[in-house]
């Protein structure tokens, strides 16, 4: 059976800057894979590359992305659009800016269902209400008639999660879906994602900078830094026996329930420095080789 | 916009108009030149002049004159024009429809042109042709309406005489209409020959008024479209498999419309102000053209009536713009 998502040797450059330096990772059907790394590591760029949403000035210089064995990069625009939103979905980072401010919630969910599933208008709204119930929104009919500014951030994120799972996707890319939310809402949203994943049978690429979140919901994980995967494996293995110094440093910097908060140590700058010079050495080696 | 806000705005209308009235009234009488000087034949006697001044009440103190005029206005009488010797209100009612129709036609042309250019610009986004569109719009913005009027007059009136260049309608044509909204009435009652004759006359002045405004609409709309397309919700729409044209139309356009109406709508007052010179250039019988005559003749009552009319139009326009923006933006609607 094909992996749901296969990324191989993916290199992405924005202008002269390398953003991804040969990333490889796999997401198996139904698996939740964590993609961890500090801000600027290239996590969002990887997600955007899969979704075909790279900024206009970014180029994929080499590598492959396959979805269920099909080469996403070689596909026609129309083929890819048939997959996006239906088989591959996104849970965005910022619920405040991710819904269209001038359209009712019902119209936004309804359009998606009509576009991908061909539901007639009434049926789409009925289904939209069911989806809102799934994400634990009370009075779904009332919420469908509201505009985004009329509901809370946590509720908006639920709406976005409902939209992501609306067409039973095989793969959901969740780009730090809890970062913009406050802590109590974060936990509820994580539980929700877990529940919907099981119900809809989706695999998730869960992007986060929070190892605590990874420990909670990801079976496997990849550690990204400066556009490189430094370490990957089963979450239990990686967190218990981290092999890379950077992973160990990240772990030491993560708050844990079984440890006093003052034991936290930030990632040593010397290590970051060393990783960056490694990355730049890699860049130069790549340039030296004839294309 | 909430009802309370609308009422607040409406309550402010009378004091605003009063302020405008005071300013015009005083300015007219402080600036040298008066209507009598413009109407008397050379060599009129001092006694004649005094008699005329008394006839029009100009010998009274300014405050007295103002009170008299204000009393008239309050009872719906704008006084009599000194140069045309007709009621100011009648003159305004006869001419205003011509100007409103011209401004409406210009607005329609400008919006159609502006939206088309903005859409072309946004579809070409990131390509070299986008620069050509932006540059063209910038150039159009630099040419004012009265200059367009002269250019169009020379081009299509004189050089290649395709269109009539003067008046609202041919004097030979028998206009058998009830209102002074010739174009609207003839369209509504199916008299398309008349409508066509009117449109032929209106086209060049309307185009002159429309071109700078079209450029403005194009610029604001294109910038708003580009801005909205970069927002998260539009980017995420791509991740839902919608095509770019569909996203531009359904997600981006409704958002871009809000700043475009808010900024562009207010600029309609400029277009309205532009009718003064453009109507003059095309001898179009609207209130703009009449305003120039009124000023030349120092026709105080007529000037005052015209200024009040323009003030009412500007206020109504601004209120209408705010209402439309509130309709377009749900974040403003519920307050
Ligand atoms: N639009 C852009 N133009 C240029 N560089 C960008 C752009 N977006 C992101 N980058 C750079 O790409 C790198 C990876 O960014 P990103 O994938 O957003 O990181 P994160 O891991 O925080 O999601 C960062 O160094 C960032 O500076
Ligand atoms: Mg990111």
Cβ-proximal residues to B97 (8 Å cutoff; 6+ apart), any chain: B179, B180, B181, B182
Q: B186: part of which helix (H) or strand (E)?
A: helix B182-188
**Of the listed ranges A118-122, A127-131, A187-191, the one predicted with least confidence:** A187-191
Q: With a cut of 80, say whether residue B335 has pLDDT above it.
A: no
| pLDDT, tens only, A138-162 | 999 999 999 999 999 999 999 999 9
Percentage above 70 pLDDT, chain B: 99
d(CA B153, CA B208): 9
**Of the listed ranges A48-62, B19-33, B95-109, B191-205, the one predicted with least confidence:** B19-33
d(CA A156, CA A159): 5
| pLDDT, tens only, A206-250 | 999 889 899 999 999 999 999 999 999 999 999 999 999 999 988
Q: With a cut of 90, say whether residue B5 has pLDDT above it.
A: no
Considering only CA atoms, give the Rg of chain B.
Answer: 24
Q: With a cut of 90, say whether residue B133 has pLDDT above it.
A: yes
Q: Which residue has the higher pLDDT, B76 or B258?
A: B258
Task: Map residue B309 onto helix, strand or coil.
Answer: helix
Looking at every residue in chain B, the average pLDDT score rounds to 90
Decide which of 1.10.3720.10, 3.40.1410.10, 3.70.10.10, 3.40.50.1970 is the CATH code for B88-333: 1.10.3720.10
Q: A228: part of which helix (H) or strand (E)?
A: strand A228-234
Considering only CA atoms, give the Rg of chain A.
Answer: 20
Looking at all shown ligands, the one closest to residue A59's CA atom is 1
d(CA B96, CA B113): 26
d(CA B246, CA A112): 12
Nearest to A131 by CA among A103, A89, A161: A161
Q: Is B167 left (phi over 0), alpha (psi -120 to 50) or beta?
A: left
Contact A55 CB / ligand 1 (< 6 Å):
yes
Q: What is the pLDDT of residue B333?
A: 76
In the numeric block, which tokens belong to residue B91? Answer: 């003159």
Looking at all shown ligands, the one closest to residue A38's CA atom is 1
pTM of the model: 0.89
From chain B, which residues contact A within 8 Å (Cβ)? Answer: 126, 231-243, 250-251, 254-255, 258, 328-331, 334
Q: What is the pLDDT of residue A288?
A: 61
Q: Which residue has the higher pLDDT, B167 or A146?
A: A146
Confidence class of residue A119 from pLDDT cuts 50, 70 and 90?
very high
Q: What is the pLDDT of residue B169?
A: 81
Nearest to A50 by CA among A16, A75, A28: A75
Instruction: Answer for the pair A129, A140: CB distance below 8 angstroms, yes or no.
Output: yes
Q: Which residue has the higher pLDDT, B30 or B239?
A: B239
**Of the listed ranges A31-40, A277-286, B13-22, the one predicted with least confidence:** A277-286
Domains, in order of start, for chain A: 5-102+147-288 (3.40.50.300)
Contact between chains at B238 and A112 (C-beta distance less than 8 A): no
Q: What is the pLDDT of residue A178?
A: 86
Instruction: Answer for the pair B115, B221: CB distance below 8 angstroms, yes or no.
Output: yes
Q: With a cut of 80, say whether residue A286 has pLDDT above it.
A: no
Instruction: Answer for the pair B229, B248: CB distance below 8 angstroms, yes or no.
Output: yes
- Average pLDDT (A97-125) is 95
The shortest C-alpha distance from A102 to chain B (Å) reads 6
Q: What is the pLDDT of residue A291?
A: 46
Interface of A with B in 161-180 (CB under 8 A): 163
Contact A279 CB / ligand 1 (< 6 Å):
no
Residue in A45, A46, A58, A100 to test binding to B, most B beta-carbons within 10 Å:
A100
Q: What is the pLDDT of residue A19?
A: 94
The shortest C-alpha distance from B173 to chain A (Å) reads 50
Confidence class of residue B35 from pLDDT cuts 50, 70 and 90?
confident
Confidence class of residue A266 from pLDDT cuts 50, 70 and 90?
confident
Q: What is the pLDDT of residue B1?
A: 63
Residue of B nearest to A151 (CA): B331
Pocket test for ligand 1, best of A10, A18, A25, A41 (most atoms within 8 A of CB): A41
Alpha carbon of A183 to ligand 1 centroid (Å)? 25
Q: With a cut of 90, say whether residue B177 has pLDDT above it.
A: no
Helix axes B300-328, B253-281, angle to 10 degrees: 170
Confidence class of residue B147 from pLDDT cuts 50, 70 and 90?
very high
Residue of B nearest to A48 (CA): B239
d(CA A160, CA B215): 38
Instruction: Answer for the pair B240, A84: CB distance below 8 angstroms, yes or no.
Output: yes
Angle (nearest 5°) at CA A100 between A99 and A101: 105
Looking at every residue in chain A, the average pLDDT score rounds to 92
- Average pLDDT (B289-312) is 93
Residues paired with residue A207 on neighbouring β-strands, in sequence order:
A35, A175
What are the distances in angstroms from CA B278 to CA A155, B103, B294? 55, 11, 16
Confidence class of residue B334 from pLDDT cuts 50, 70 and 90?
low
Q: Which residue has the higher pLDDT, B56 or A154?
A: A154
Instruction: Answer for the pair A212, A254: CB distance below 8 angstroms, yes or no.
Output: yes
Q: What is the pLDDT of residue A287?
A: 67
d(CA B302, CA A117): 66
d(CA B98, CA A50): 59
Instruction: Answer for the pair A177, A157: CB distance below 8 angstroms, yes or no.
Output: yes
Interface of A with B in 227-256 (CB under 8 A): none
Could you identify the residue written with the tokens 């009370």? A138
**Of the listed ranges A172-176, B7-11, B253-257, the one predicted with least confidence:** B7-11
Q: With a cut of 60, say whether residue B32 has pLDDT above it.
A: yes
Contact A43 CB / ligand 1 (< 6 Å):
yes
Residues paired with residue A26 on neighbouring β-strands, in sequence order:
A6
Q: With a cut of 80, say whether residue A45 has pLDDT above it.
A: yes
Q: What is the pLDDT of residue B306?
A: 95
Q: How many CB atoms lie within 10 A of CB A170?
A: 20
B212 alpha-carbon distance from chain centroid:
13
Cβ-proximal residues to A62 (8 Å cutoff; 6+ apart), any chain: A9, A10, A11, A22
The ipTM value here is 0.88
d(CA B286, CA B292): 11
């Amino acid at each position: 059976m094909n992996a749901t998502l296969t990324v191989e040797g993916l290199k992405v450059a924005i202008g002269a800057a390398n953003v991804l330096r040969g990333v490889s990772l796999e997401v198996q059907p139904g698996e939740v894979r964590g993609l961890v790394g500090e801000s600027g590591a290239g996590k969002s760029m990887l997600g955007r590359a899969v979704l075909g949403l790279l900024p206009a000035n970014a180029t994929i210089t080499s590598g492959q992305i396959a979805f269920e064995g099909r080469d996403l990069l070689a596909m026609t625009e129309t083929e890819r659009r048939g997959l996006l939103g239906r088989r591959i979905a996104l849970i965005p980072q910022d619920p405040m800016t991710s819904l269209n401010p001038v359209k009712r919630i019902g119209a936004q969910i309804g359009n998606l269902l009509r576009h991908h599933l061909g539901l007639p208008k009434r049926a789409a709204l009925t289904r939209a209400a069911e989806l809102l119930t799934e994400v634990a929104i009370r009075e779904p009919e009332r919420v469908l008639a509201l505009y985004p500014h009329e509901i809370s951030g946590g509720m908006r994120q639920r709406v976005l999660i409902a939209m992501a799972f609306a067409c039973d996707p095989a793969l959901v890319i969740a780009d730090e879906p809890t970062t913009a939310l406050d802590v109590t809402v974060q936990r509820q949203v994580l539980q929700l994602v877990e529940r919907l994943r099981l119900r809809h049978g989706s695999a998730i690429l869960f992007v986060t900078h929070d190892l605590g979140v990874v420990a909670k919901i990801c079976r496997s994980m990849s550690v990204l830094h400066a556009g490189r995967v430094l370490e990957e494996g089963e979450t239990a293995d990686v967190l218990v026996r981290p092999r890379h110094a950077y992973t160990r440093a990240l772990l030491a910097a993560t708050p844990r329930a079984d440890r006093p908060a003052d034991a936290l140590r930030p990632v040593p700058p010397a290590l970051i420095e060393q990783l960056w010079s490694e990355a730049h050495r890699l860049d130069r080696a790549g340039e030296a080789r004839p294309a | 916009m909430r009802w309370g806000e609308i009422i607040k705005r409406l309550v402010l209308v009378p004091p605003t108009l009063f302020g405008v009235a005071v300013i015009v009234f005083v300015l007219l009488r402080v600036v040298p030149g008066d209507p009598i000087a413009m109407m008397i034949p050379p060599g009129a006697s001092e006694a004649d002049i005094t008699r005329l001044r008394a006839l029009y009440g100009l010998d009274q103190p300014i405050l007295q004159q103002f009170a008299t005029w204000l009393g008239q206005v309050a009872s719906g009488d704008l006084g009599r024009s000194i140069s045309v010797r007709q009621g100011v209100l009648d003159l305004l009612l006869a001419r205003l429809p011509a100007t409103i129709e011209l401004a409406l036609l210009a607005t329609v042309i400008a919006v159609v042109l502006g939206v088309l250019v903005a859409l072309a610009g946004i579809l070409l986004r990131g390509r070299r042709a986008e620069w050509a569109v932006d540059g063209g719009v910038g150039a159009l913005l630099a040419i004012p309406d009265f200059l367009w009027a002269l250019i169009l007059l020379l081009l299509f009136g004189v050089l290649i005489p395709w269109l009539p260049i003067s008046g609202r309608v041919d004097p030979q044509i028998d206009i058998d209409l009830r209102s002074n909204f010739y174009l609207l009435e003839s369209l509504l009652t199916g008299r398309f020959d008349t409508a066509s004759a009117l449109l032929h006359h209106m086209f060049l002045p309307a185009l002159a008024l429309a071109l700078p405004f079209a450029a403005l609409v194009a610029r604001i709309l294109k910038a708003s479209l580009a801005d909205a397309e970069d927002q998260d919700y539009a980017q995420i729409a791509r991740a839902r498999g919608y095509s770019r044209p569909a996203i531009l139309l359904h997600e981006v356009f409704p958002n871009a419309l809000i700043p475009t109406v808010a900024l562009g709508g207010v600029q309609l007052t400029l277009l309205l102000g532009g009718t003064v010179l453009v109507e003059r250039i095309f001898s179009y019988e609207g209130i703009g053209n009449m305003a120039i005559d009124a000023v030349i003749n120092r026709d105080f009552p007529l000037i005052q009536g015209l200024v009040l009319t323009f003030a009412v139009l500007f206020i109504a326009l601004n209120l209408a713009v705010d209402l439309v923006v509130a309709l377009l933006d749900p974040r403003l609607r519920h307050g």
